[in-house]
Structures are given as structure tokens and as C-alpha cells.
């Protein structure tokens, strides 16, 4: 049985659960949930991706410090089993960014679906002096005005890890998705002691959704790991579409 169109997108978009979620905490986070400060720490993490109870593949995240205020945040997704028929190669997303005084600022974003064709690739550059995002997304030219808080699909994770750690979270943020800037609303919904493949972890739970959308993304973020998401789910109404769960973690 060949994968359906939905299945073809599961592993290719594995990191999208973490990315599109734009996990956020409201400014009313409890005092026990926040710290006085937060800064990036290099790490590597691997997640298992599940769709309809099947192990569809893995997603690997890596944050590297490349000197001064410069960082690279990288995601690589690999299909397995049935899903390898539809997605034979690694799918990669990379953000080059800078982190200064608690602020994450994306500079370059690249998304490569692993194939020779370019109709699913994305290459975006941020010109903060002009306040614009330019580039190419799925063979279409991009030239958009950039809100001061706009992030790319990878850098937004660091913004939200910082916000969750410090309790400084606006209720609405912006990210660029291919050739469109989208707004998301965020809610802190509680805490949970979670059993994971790397041990028992106390987590803080967040939800996000676009205004008017029935699709909700929920994340479990671990304060002990710098508010790294350790589980993510995407639901439409009561239906679980797919999920990710941490399998390996290494700092530095």
C-alpha cells in the first residue's frame, strides 16, 4: 500500500509540530515556572514521529554556537518503513540567527525537501535595516514587510523557549510560513509530570492556534532542559493528527 497524500507530508513536516506550535506561555505564568534569565545552550535532540500509531520516522534538532552572537539551528527529518517510499531522502531546515540581550533575530532560513526539484524548497533572507524578508519559496518570489517580531520556522522555537523560561510572552506572535506571515495566539494550559524515553520530567504545557482555526498544537516543555519541548501533538478537534516524543538528548 502506497502512502496517501497526507502520509507524504507527515515526516516531511515532522518538525512542523514543534515549529508551527510556536510554543508560548502567557505573561501570567506562575512564579515557580519562570527564571530570571535564559540564554541558548548548544544541544542535540532526537524525536520519534508517530502517525495513526505507526512509527513514521525521526526528527533531529541541533543548536550550534558559531561564535559571538551567531547561532545555527538545524532540523533533519528521516522517514522509515512505509513512509520511505514517499520520502526517500532527509528533509532539512536550517536557521542562521543571532541572539543579543534576550532577543532572537533570524538572518537566513533554508528548507530543503531532499529531492532534486526545487518546488518544495524555501530560501529566505531577513534584511532588518530595510525591515523586509526576501527570497524564494516553492519557486515563488518572496518580498514582504517584516514585523519587528517576525521569526522563521526554526528561530521561533528559541524565542518561545526564552519566553516560557522568563514568563515574558505576548499573546500573539508572527512567523513566516513560505511566502506568508502568520499570526498565532498562545495559551499556557497547565503542568504535568511526564514519563519520557530520557526519564521522568516535570513539564509545562502550552497550546497555540491561528485565530479561527480548529487545529490546535500542544507542547510539553521541560524547565530542566531549558524549556525544550519533549512532546508535541497536533489535533483537529478531538482527533489526534500526529505526535512527536523525545527519544535522545545531549547538551553541548
Report pTM. Answer: 0.82
The one-digit pLDDT tens for each residue of the chain (252 residues) are 444 443 444 344 444 444 443 333 333 333 345 555 788 899 999 999 887 777 888 999 999 999 999 999 999 988 776 565 555 555 899 999 999 988 899 999 999 887 778 888 999 999 999 999 999 999 999 999 999 999 999 998 898 888 888 887 656 788 998 899 998 887 788 899 999 999 999 999 988 888 888 888 889 999 999 899 999 998 888 888 889 999 999 997
The pLDDT tens digits of the residues spanning 139-170 come to 999 999 999 999 999 998 898 888 888 887 65
pLDDT of residue 172: 79
pLDDT of residue 50: 83
pLDDT of residue 34: 56
**Residue 117: exposed, middle, or buried by beta-carbon count in 10 A (0-12, 13-18, 19+)?**
exposed
> Domain with 162 in it: what CATH number?
2.40.360
Measure the N-to-C terminal CA separation of the chain; round to a whole number of Å.
42
Domain of 189, in residue numbers: 5-251
In three-state secondary structure terms, 15 is: coil
Domain count, the chain: 1
Residue length, the chain? 252
Q: Which residues of 50-80 are buried (b: 16+ CB within 10 A; e: fewer)?
A: bbeeeebbbbbbbbeeeeeeebbbbbbbbbe
pLDDT of residue 31: 34
Amino acid at each position: 500500500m502506497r502512502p496517501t497524500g497526507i502520509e507524504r507530508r507527515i515526516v516531511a513536516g515532522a518538525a512542523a509540530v514543534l515549529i508551527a506550535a510556536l510554543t508560548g506561555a502567557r505573561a501570567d505564568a506562575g512564579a515557580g515556572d519562570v527564571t530570571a534569565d535564559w540564554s541558548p545552550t548548544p544541544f542535540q535532540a532526537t524525536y520519534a514521529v508517530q502517525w495513526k500509531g505507526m512509527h513514521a520516522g525521526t526528527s533531529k534538532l541541533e543548536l550550534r554556537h558559531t561564535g559571538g552572537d551567531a547561532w545555527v539551528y538545524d532540523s533533519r527529518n528521516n522517514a522509515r518503513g512505509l513512509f520511505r517510499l514517499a520520502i526517500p531522502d532527509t528533509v532539512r531546515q536550517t536557521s542562521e540567527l543571532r541572539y543579543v540581550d534576550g532577543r532572537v533575530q533570524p538572518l537566513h532560513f533554508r528548507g530543503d525537501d531532499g529531492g532534486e526539484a526545487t518546488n518544495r524548497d524555501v530560501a529566505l533572507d531577513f534584511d532588518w535595516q530595510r525591515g523586509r524578508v526576501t527570497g524564494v519559496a516553492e519557486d515563488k518570489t518572496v518580498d514582504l514587510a517584516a514585523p519587528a517580531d517576525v521569526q522563521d520556522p526554526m528561530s521561533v522555537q528559541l524565542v518561545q523557549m526564552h519566553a516560557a523560561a522568563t514568563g515574558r510572552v505576548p499573546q500573539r506572535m508572527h512567523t513566516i510560513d513560505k511566502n506568508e506571515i502568520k499570526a498565532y495566539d498562545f495559551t499556557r494550559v497547565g503542568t504535568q509530570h511526564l514519563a519520557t524515553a530520557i526519564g521522568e520530567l516535570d513539564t509545562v504545557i502550552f497550546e497555540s492556534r491561528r485565530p479561527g482555526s480548529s487545529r490546535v498544537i500542544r507542547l510539553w516543555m521541560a524547565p530542566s532542559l531549558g524549556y525544550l519541548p519533549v512532546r508535541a501533538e497536533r489535533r483537529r478537534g478531538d482527533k489526534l493528527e500526529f505526535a512527536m516524543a523525545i527519544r535522545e538528548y545531549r547538551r553541548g
